[in-house]
Structure 1
Amino acid sequence: MLDDLVGKILDKISGTSLLATGLLLLTAFVSALVAYWRTVEEKSWKEFFEFVIPHEVITHPSAKADLLFWVTKKALMPF
């Protein structure tokens, strides 16, 4: 039983999974940086993160509902 649990945890954080996630995040970050660089004249890191993750999107009720759903799902079904 414990071996199965450890195996599932290692599968979730394995190099392949972690590498794919890292590549996706890097691609999204670089794409956002290129889009920001081409559209904005006055550049700053604060404005870049506001461009990437607008306040209106993060505080929208559906975003809060999505986060609550994700947390609940992970709490009930961690693997």
Structure 2
Amino acid sequence: MEKPTITIRLRDQKYTIQGASTVREALEILQIPPELFLVVRNGELLDGETPLNDGDFLQLVGAISGGSAK
């Protein structure tokens, strides 16, 4: 089974990659730490094990963390 070609948008950059069958694999190919970004496809938040389809367009959104220490 051939792995899909997907497009990933990170800020103002678009990357087209091949060889990733899951979100986690796509982030590994681009050497992006998964804990730093949320991955969205068609308005749906994806987890690392979500399968990818040929032609998918993923948006990476910076994860916001922190808060006040009490």
Q: Same fold (TM over 0.5)?
A: no
More helix by share: 1
Give the structure with higher Rg (CA): 1
Q: Which one scores higher on RCO, CA 8 angstroms, separation ≥ 6?
A: 2
The bucket for the TM-score relative to the shorter chain is under 0.3
* TM-score, normalised via structure 2 length: 0.22
More strand by share: 2
* TM-score, normalised via structure 1 length: 0.21
